[in-house]
Structure 1
Amino acid sequence: MATILIAEDDSHIRELISFHMQNEGLDTVEADNGVDALAIVENAGIDLVILDIMMPRMDGWELCRELRSGGRDIPILMLTAKGEAGQKVKGFQLGTDDYLTKPFDPDELVLRVKALLRRYRIATSHIIQLGDIMLNRLSFKVVRGTEEMTLPLKEFELLFKLASHPGQIFTREQLIVQIWGIAYEGDDRTVDVHIKRLRERFAGDSTHFTIETARSLGYRLVLHP
């Protein structure tokens, strides 16, 4: 499932955007300034960035410039009160993919985000199939054949995240931010414990998939045809 970074210093707008994104089954991470937003992109495996121009510490212009100068092929949508044509031109020159002015229609924002994800071929499905195992992100249900399984929420979210990007390595830090949240203060060995439990639960399904350890890096889910 795609993870959206919302870089916006207005907490009410962040909450509004996050609410509508999550209603569509998308994961969200929030930042209230450009410096933190850039750090999250570098460490949390973000799929798309929604950013405001007027932010403290690093504004949206500089954030967009940093994201593009780093060679990151990540969709960017600017969301700002500045609606003049010159501002839009500047945004596109810096590398933004789309531009929406405030006040905005949340439904239009969702449609634009989905269009960008499709353009970049980023998966947005609520359902993932791993052999005869089905993961449903909306109901948080796991179905193996005709058997329905119940997983603890964090285990489900961890498995769904890995299964959404088969073959991609996620570091422990990335998984902590995306599953437990940026404010989590626990030990990153929590990830190891949850991975161990998932491996035990699905030990009999290794013909369909395995969760591999990338030494000194993190974990990835590998599909087996």
Structure 2
Amino acid sequence: METSPGGRGLVLVVEDEPAIVDLIGLYLRRDGFSVLTAAEGSAALELVRRHRPVAVVLDVGLPGLDGIEVCRRLRADDDWTPVLFVTARDDEVDRVLGLEIGADDYVVKPFSPRELMARLRTVLRRGTGPAPGPLVLGRVRVDTVTRRVLVDDDEVALTATEFALLAHLARYPGRVFSREQLLSSVWGYAAHAGTRTVDVHVAQLRGKLGGDCPIRTVRGVGYAAEVGR
């Protein structure tokens, strides 16, 4: 475990390969972040609770408590700190599982440090973007000032990515967006990253919002938000 000074906030790097820890830490510090590190899952959970980082860069293949379980426990504790998975397995099942339990994004080893930093900056922007005011879609209220989503008076906990996707669609009610357009606008990268990512997050929103979810599937095209739902 180590820390270093930085003005953009503290990032926890959870990785058991020292060379990868050093590489990620180097780029984080260059970008102005403080760095905290852990080599296994149990320590990572304790460090998140104690230090409240702005994000967690989390290796999936940790010894003992793996990254999937770390993320699952954070979300079960209602901790929605942005999580960026690092995985050695370029397998859709693994990636989809990570997104389904609440990860915000992922990179696959071997990865470009510049790509990882770009993904991390995008995830953090989702949590601090411009706030034009509350957006109302039927019984769903998306408050972009407080970053809360309410169904009537009941708050629904969303990840930063889920919130960003819902807010983006809600800003343009009735407009149909392709999956590629959503990847570019919300995730900040091109369609080759995999449009399945969009489908998984829409499914997560529907699971959390139930019958009140305002997102409509436009077959063969993409998704749109409906005011009247």
Superposition TM-score tier, normalisation by shorter sequence? 0.5 to 0.7
1:53 equivalent in alignment to 2:81: no
Runs of 5+ unmatched residues, structure 2: 1-7, 130-229
Work out the CA distance in 1 between the residues paired with 2:121 and 2:111.
16
* SS of residue matched to 1:87: helix
Taking the TM superposition and a 5 Å limit, the aligned residue runs for 1:161-172 are: none
Kindly provide the CA deviation profile for residues 56-89 of structure 1, in whole angstroms up to 9, marking residues without a partner as x.
2310011010111110121100001011111111
Give the alignment partner of residue 21 of structure 1, picking from 13, 19, 28. 28
| CA apart distance, 1:22 | 0.4
Q: Does 1:78 align with 2:85?
A: yes
Question: 1:113: Cα distance to partner?
Answer: 0.6
Are 1:39 and 2:56 an aligned pair?
no
Residues in 2 aligned to 1:98 and 1:62: alpha-carbon distance in whole angstroms: 16
TM-score with structure 1 setting the length: 0.53
Quote how far apart the aligned CAs of 1:2 are.
1.6
Residue 56 of structure 2 aligns to a residue in which SS? strand
Match of 1:5 among 8, 12, 28: 12
Question: 5+ unaligned residues in a row in structure 1: which ranges?
Answer: 123-225
* Counterpart-to-counterpart distance in 2, 1:73 and 1:98: 13
Residue 100 of structure 1 aligns to a residue whose secondary structure is strand
Q: What residue is the counterpart of 2:114 in the other structure? A: 107
One-letter amino acid of the counterpart of residue 43, structure 1: R
TM superposition outliers: structure 1 runs of 4+ over 3 Å: none
Cα drift, residue 99 of structure 1: 1.1
> What's the TM-score, normalizing by structure 2?
0.52
Aligned positions of 1:1-225 closer than 5 A = 1-121=8-128
In 2: Cα distance, 1:16 partner to 1:82 partner: 20
Q: RCO (CA 8 Å, sep 6+): is it higher in 1 or 2? A: 1
Tell me by how many angstroms 1:114 deviates. Answer: 0.6
Q: Quick one: which amino acid aligns to residue 77 of structure 1?
A: L
- CA positional deviation for 1:13: 0.3
CA distance in 1, matches of 2:9, 2:126: 13
Give the whole-Å Cα distance in 2 for the aligned partners of 1:102 and 1:32. 17
Output the CA distance in 2 between the equivalents of 1:115 and 1:40: 23
Aligned equivalents of 2:35 and 2:90: distance in 1? 25
Aligned-partner Cα distance in 1 for 2:42–2:64: 6
Aligned to 1:181: none
Q: CA deviation at 1:29?
A: 0.3
What CA distance in whole angstroms lies between the structure 1 residues aligned with 2:123 and 2:85? 12
Q: Measure how far apart 1:53 and its partner are.
A: 1.0
Percent sequence identity over matched residues?
A: 35
- Distance in 1, matches of 2:36 and 2:120, equals 15
* Cα distance between partner residues in 2 of 1:73 and 1:64: 9
